[in-house]
Amino acid sequence: FYQVYRRFSILRFSCRVVALIVIWISNMRILITGGAGFIGSHLVDRLMEIEKNEVIVVDNYFTGSKDNLKKWMGHPRFELIRHDITEPLIIEVDQIYHLACPASPIFYKYNPVKTIKTNVIGTLNMLGLAKRVGARILLTSTSEVYGDPLEHPQNESYWGNVNPIGVRSCYDEGKRVAETLMFDYHRQHGLEIRVARIFNTYGPRMNIDDGRVVSNFIAQALRGEPLTVQSPGTQTRSFCYVSDLVDGLIRLMEGSHTGPINLGNPGEFTVLELAEKVKELVNPDVEIKMVENTPDDPRQRKPDITKAKEVLQWEPKFQLRDGLPLMEEDFRLRLGVVKK
């Protein structure tokens, strides 16, 4: 009996080893929705560096661009599909990074109903797809789910302070529903989910005129235009460099925690301080001009990243003074402004 038992044990162990080897050497098919955008295209770059990954991007080019992916066009492990995720998508994949959604306030407010459809119907479709093929799915949610936070810094257990009927609600409430859908599919259908709550991220390839504060200030400084600080200027944000963020997203996807997990840089700056830093670094001759703000602008924002440190062993490496010059270089090239 012992001999038979031993043989079975050896057989079982061998099968397990073979299965692990097969998983290890077989290609991983990864879908990135919104992969032609700012963060998505940096994620594509990073995932394409791994030989066994096949990357498929779906994007409707609302705020993204094929230009961001031009280095991968024609690559045998890369595919780009024009598709709007508010429509069903039938495809076979192993993992889904679900990023598709405009992130800049001027773009998400431009067509708020479409923003909600993208967050709700789009996320539902991606979850339906993940369920059918058994893929793990990661949602890029946002610090906006904390609204105008009454707790500072924000940790993941804070439920937020969001205006449900304001002009930002299409985005904040849209992402809140997207998170709810993720957790309901997880509980009801056993889906493997990952939820990242991303704080303000900046870096090369940001849309030059997309209206976000770091891209606005750098473009204004390079064009010699006044830096437009929206009043009162004492509101704070915490800025994470894009390569740090991408590292966090991949760790979250590969790890075993569903989240939600804050991903951001805890270094907190007032918008006025940011303007002064950009002025000092990029163009000391520009003036700083106070302009009117938009409704419901959160007064403060800073991530508590204790959980990310603990469960992902992740924390950002780039400080603002390291990241801004890299973004300046990219903007100079794209705007054709040479350094004096």
Give the single-character DSSP code of 225: P
CB of 23 to ligand NAD, least distance (A): 29
Give the one entry of ligand NAD, ligand UDP, none that residue 235 binds, where binding means its C-beta sits below a cut-off of 5 to 8 angstroms depending on kind.
Answer: ligand UDP
What residues form DSSP beta bridges with 207? none
Is residue 278 part of the contact set for ligand NAD (CB under 6 A)? no
How many chain residues bind ligand UDP (CB under 6 A)? 22
CB of 15 to ligand UDP, least distance (A): 30
171, 274, 160, 305 alpha-carbon torsion, rounded to 10°: 110
Residues 276-295 as x/- pattern, contact with ligand UDP by CB under 6 A: -----------------x--
Give the one entry of ligand NAD, ligand UDP, none that residue 60 binds, where binding means its C-beta sits below a cut-off of 5 to 8 angstroms depending on kind.
Answer: ligand NAD
Is residue 36 part of the contact set for ligand NAD (CB under 6 A)? yes
Query: What is the Cα–Cα distance from 286 to 28, expressed in whole angstroms?
Result: 49
CB of 90 to ligand NAD, least distance (A): 15
Asked whether 211 and 153 are in contact (CB, 8 A), the reply is: no
- Alpha-carbon separation of residue 164 from 147, 160, 161, 174, 298 (angstroms): 10, 11, 9, 10, 14
* For ligand NAD, the closer CB: 135 or 248: 248
Is residue 37 part of the contact set for ligand NAD (CB under 6 A)? yes
Is residue 145 part of the contact set for ligand NAD (CB under 6 A)? no
Is residue 7 part of the contact set for ligand UDP (CB under 6 A)? no
Backbone angles phi, psi at 55, to 5 degrees: -110, 130
> In the structure encoding, which two tokens stand for residue 164, read together?
């449900």
- Alpha-carbon separation of residue 107 from 110, 212, 284 (angstroms): 5, 10, 30
* For ligand UDP, the closer CB: 51 or 292: 292
CB of 228 to ligand UDP, least distance (A): 4
Residue with tokens 């990135």: 32
Residues designated as active site: 171
Q: Residue 298: which of 180, 151, 175 has the closest Cα?
A: 151
* For ligand UDP, the closer CB: 111 or 228: 228
Give the one entry of ligand UDP, ligand NAD, none that residue 170 binds, where binding means its C-beta sits below a cut-off of 5 to 8 angstroms depending on kind.
Answer: none
